[in-house]
């Protein structure tokens, strides 16, 4: 449970556009331990998906690197060795566009098996059926269907089965449930948790749903405008958030009962919106919205400090490595 | 177990076929077009058995029966050397359909493959090379280009086919190119890339099947258009050479005798109109069929 399977070091990904350079991911470092579910949280435009896409090789990092089991993986997909493509798999956000409407589910699931030579021709059908059973879809009913005729939740199940096809060890889940309705979400989350146990998988779970995060992750990485705000174990994160942005996020969770209401920090009201990543504010990128803004915040960008064991924060309030009194 | 799966697969494909046919058949005009098209194709294939005077398709003369108006013995009348126009039209269809088939089976695959490559490798030199050549071909009016090529070589059916094929591929290239540039950003293409699938797999199995609907629709509409161009070239003597019965050649011959002996030009012209119309109707039906499916 303690071995680090993925280490991201000072990862930067800039996009050059006509409006200027977009700093989608700016000097991000974190690590994911074997067997855990690491949550990556942030508003839209905070760079979560860019990190996911960089890890699987859709983008090449502008600077910095990512290590997977000690191997440098900061390369685009066509430069990656096949063995690596087999180990790191991704489930995309929109299952509608991630499955080819012109191919049957059987064909879709066979592709990774063929490419990675997982099994020989005669066993392939068996393996496809096994994968479908793994995601709780009866193979006889689904194998020859087109993804067009099945529901969104079922599509995402197929996408998960496809990701699992070559027996990966690391799964990047890019908001796998955000496009689905709530009843289906629960089913998929349960399935993912079950699969993680059975297959000894490590997840990088990207989401903006904090309640979901609380239930399934071991550790949380909070991002704001391409930078890390806070990294903490999930329990610690919900009980004792450090960063003003984290507090703002937590206080924005809608609650049903008073009990829940009392549990979350309430001194922070969310205001403003995330700034444009093309025009990042000077100093700490959060200072425009920060309720605890200090004079230094608009001048200097804080660095990440470890305030408690495993609990990192990037804020001037903690610049001496201690909690402010 | 395996057998049951096979049965399931078969019944699925049969179901999707009947669904497609249902959508197609909701437009009665398309069904009419399909019926006409089928009868034209059958007529062309079995021309020697169907036409009342098969020998009239070649160098046959019977001046005693020249210039006869339409009657029960000669449905479309006879031409200036006494040949039965109905028989010649039926044989004329053979040339027209062969032309359409050959041109499309040459131009379509080459255009599609070049379009796939150019669209997938966008902003690389290979895209620039392919698309600029395509632009050059598209800049010259197609008929003029085919005309120039046929004149340069000698005018016969084979050279006409080559010339028309050469001017036809850029349209498919453009169509598939534009489809590919948007399809290659779809997540299913990304996924195949990340899985490590070969380029051939990505282009032919992931992208191409999603281009089938527009390409097939364009193909049916184009078949009619190719026949028109072929007839136009034949009309000015750059296609099927007499005494063989090209529809365009027959219209050209008959046009000299308008308006008195009108049947010599009108019936071959009508034959061209009918085949083009039926291709277009079928094309419309296909478009409706695929359009509903996309939603």
Q: Which residues are within 8 A (CB) of A235 and not within 5 positions of it... i.e. 6 or more apart? A: none
Structural domain that includes position B198? 25-55+76-294
Cβ neighbour number for residue B130 with a 10 Å cutoff: 20
Domain annotation covers residue B20: no
Domain annotation covers residue B2: no
**Domain CATH number, residue B206:** 1.10.3720.10
Cα(A320)–Cα(A306) distance, integer angstroms: 10
Closest partner CB to A102 (pick from B8, B196, B210): B210
Q: What is the pLDDT of residues A241-256, one digit of tens each?
A: 888 888 888 887 777 7
**Over residues B173-179, mean pLDDT:** 95
Domain annotation covers residue B245: yes
- Look at A295-299, B212-216, B225-229 and tell me which has the smallest mean pLDDT: A295-299
**Contact in structure between B212 and B129 (CB atoms under 8 Å):** no
Residue B256, Cβ density class (10 Å: 0-12 exposed, 13-18 middle, ≥19 buried): exposed
Judge: B194–A143 Cβ closer than 8 Å, yes or no.
no
A195: alpha, beta or left, given left = phi > 0 and alpha = psi -120 to 50? alpha
Q: How many structural domains does chain B have? A: 1
Domain annotation covers residue B288: yes
A264: alpha, beta or left, given left = phi > 0 and alpha = psi -120 to 50? beta
Whether residue A261 has pLDDT greater than 80: no
Judge: B187–A77 Cβ closer than 8 Å, yes or no.
no
Judge: B188–A97 Cβ closer than 8 Å, yes or no.
yes
- Look at A29-38, A66-75, A309-318, B17-26 and tell me which has the smallest mean pLDDT: B17-26
What's the order of all strands across the beta sheet hosting A63-68? A20-33, A4-17, A63-68, A71-72
What pLDDT sits at residue B81?
Answer: 85
Sign, CA torsion B62/B65/B70/B71: negative
Domain annotation covers residue B68: no
Instruction: Give the 3-state secondary structure of residue B90.
Output: helix
CA B210 to each of CA A175, B73, B187, B294: distance values in angstroms, whole numbers, following the listed order? 26, 51, 13, 10
In sequence order, what E strands does A18-154 have? 20-33, 37-41, 63-68, 71-72, 88-91
pLDDT-based confidence at A1, cuts 50/70/90? very low
Beta bridge partners of residue A22, listed in sequence order: A15
What pLDDT sits at residue B6?
Answer: 66
Whether residue A223 has pLDDT greater than 80: yes
Residues 147-186 of B with CB under 8 A from A: 186
**Over residues B142-163, mean pLDDT:** 85
- Closest CA relative to residue B284, chosen from B97, B16, B29, B19: B29
ipTM > 0.90?
A: no
Torsion of CA B94, B97, B101, B103, to 10 degrees: 100
Domain annotation covers residue B89: yes
**Contact in structure between A233 and A218 (CB atoms under 8 Å):** yes
**Contact in structure between A133 and A142 (CB atoms under 8 Å):** no
**Over residues B174-200, mean pLDDT:** 93
**Contact in structure between B271 and B277 (CB atoms under 8 Å):** no
Q: What is the pLDDT of residues A132-142, one digit of tens each?
A: 999 999 998 89
Q: What is the pLDDT of residues B60-110, one digit of tens each?
A: 888 888 878 888 888 888 888 889 999 999 999 999 999 999 999 999 999
**Contact in structure between B83 and B261 (CB atoms under 8 Å):** no
**Over residues B243-252, mean pLDDT:** 87
Domains in chain A with CATH codes: 4-318 (3.40.50.300)
Judge: B195–A112 Cβ closer than 8 Å, yes or no.
yes
Domain annotation covers residue B18: no
Residue B160 CA, distance from chain mean position:
14
Residue B99 CA, distance from chain mean position:
8
Contact list, B194 vs chain A (CB under 8 Å) = 56-58, 77, 85, 89-90
């Amino acid at each position: 449970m303690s071995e680090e399977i993925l280490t991201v070091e000072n990862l930067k990904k800039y996009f050059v556009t006509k409006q200027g350079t977009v700093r989608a991911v700016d000097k991000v470092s974190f690590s994911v331990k074997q067997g855990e579910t690491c949550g990556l949280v942030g508003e839209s435009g905070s760079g979560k998906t860019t990190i996911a896409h960089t890890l699987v090789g859709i983008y090449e990092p502008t600077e910095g690197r990512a290590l997977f089991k000690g191997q440098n993986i900061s390369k685009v997909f066509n430069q990656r060795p096949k063995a690596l493509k087999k180990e790191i798999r991704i489930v995309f956000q929109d299952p509608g566009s991630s499955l080819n409407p012109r191919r049957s589910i059987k064909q879709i699931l066979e592709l990774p098996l063929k490419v990675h030579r997982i099994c020989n021709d005669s066993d392939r059908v068996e393996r496809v059926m096994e994968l479908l059973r793994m995601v709780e879809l009866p193979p006889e009913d689904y194998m020859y269907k087109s993804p067009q005729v099945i529901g969104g939740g079922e599509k995402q199940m197929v996408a998960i089965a496809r990701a699992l096809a070559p027996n990966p060890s690391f799964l990047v889940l890019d908001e796998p449930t955000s496009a689905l309705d709530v009843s289906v979400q629960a089913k998929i989350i349960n399935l993912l948790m079950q699969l993680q146990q059975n297959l000894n998988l490590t997840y990088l779970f990207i989401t903006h749903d904090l309640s979901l995060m609380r239930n399934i992750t071991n550790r949380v990485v909070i991002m704001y405008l391409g930078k890390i705000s806070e990294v903490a174990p999930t329990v610690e994160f919900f009980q004792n958030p450090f960063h003003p942005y984290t507090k703002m996020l937590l206080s924005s969770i809608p609650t049903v009962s008073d009990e829940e209401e009392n549990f979350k920090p309430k001194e922070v009201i969310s205001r403003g919106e995330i700034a444009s990543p093309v025009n990042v504010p000077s100093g700490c990128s959060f200072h425009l919205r920060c309720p605890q803004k200090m004079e230094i915040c608009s001048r200097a960008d804080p660095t990440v400090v470890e305030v408690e064991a495993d609990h990192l924060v990037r804020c001037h309030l903690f610049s001496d490595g201690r909690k402010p009194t | 177990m395996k057998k049951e799966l096979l049965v399931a697969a078969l019944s699925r494909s049969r179901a999707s076929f009947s669904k497609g046919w249902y959508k197609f058949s909701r437009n009665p005009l398309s069904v009419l077009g399909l019926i006409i098209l089928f009868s034209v194709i059958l007529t062309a294939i079995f021309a020697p058995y169907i036409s009342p005077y098969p020998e009239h398709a070649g160098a046959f003369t019977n001046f005693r029966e020249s210039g006869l108006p339409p009657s029960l013995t000669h449905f479309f009348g006879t031409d200036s050397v006494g040949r039965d126009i109905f028989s010649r039209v039926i044989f004329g269809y053979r040339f027209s359909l062969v032309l359409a088939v050959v041109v499309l089976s040459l131009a379509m695959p080459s255009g599609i493959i070049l379009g796939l490559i150019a669209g997938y490798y966008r902003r690389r030199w290979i895209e620039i090379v392919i698309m600029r050549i395509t632009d050059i071909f598209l800049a010259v009016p197609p008929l003029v280009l085919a005309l120039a090529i046929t004149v340069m070589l000698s005018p016969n059916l084979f050279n006409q086919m080559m010339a028309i094929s050469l001017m036809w591929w850029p349209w498919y290239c453009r169509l598939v190119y534009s489809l590919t540039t948007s399809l290659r950003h779809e997540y299913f293409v990304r996924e195949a890339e990340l899985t490590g699938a070969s380029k051939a797999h990505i282009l032919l199995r992931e992208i191409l099947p999603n281009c089938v609907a527009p390409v097939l629709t364009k193909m049916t509409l184009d078949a009619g258009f190719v026949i028109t161009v072929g007839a136009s070239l034949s009309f000015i003597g750059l296609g099927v050479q007499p005494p063989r019965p090209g529809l365009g050649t027959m219209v050209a011959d008959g046009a000299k005798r308008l308006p008195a002996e009108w049947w010599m030009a009108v019936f071959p012209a009508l034959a061209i109109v009918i085949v083009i119309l039926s291709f277009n109707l079928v094309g419309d039906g296909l478009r409706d069929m695929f359009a509903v499916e996309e939603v």
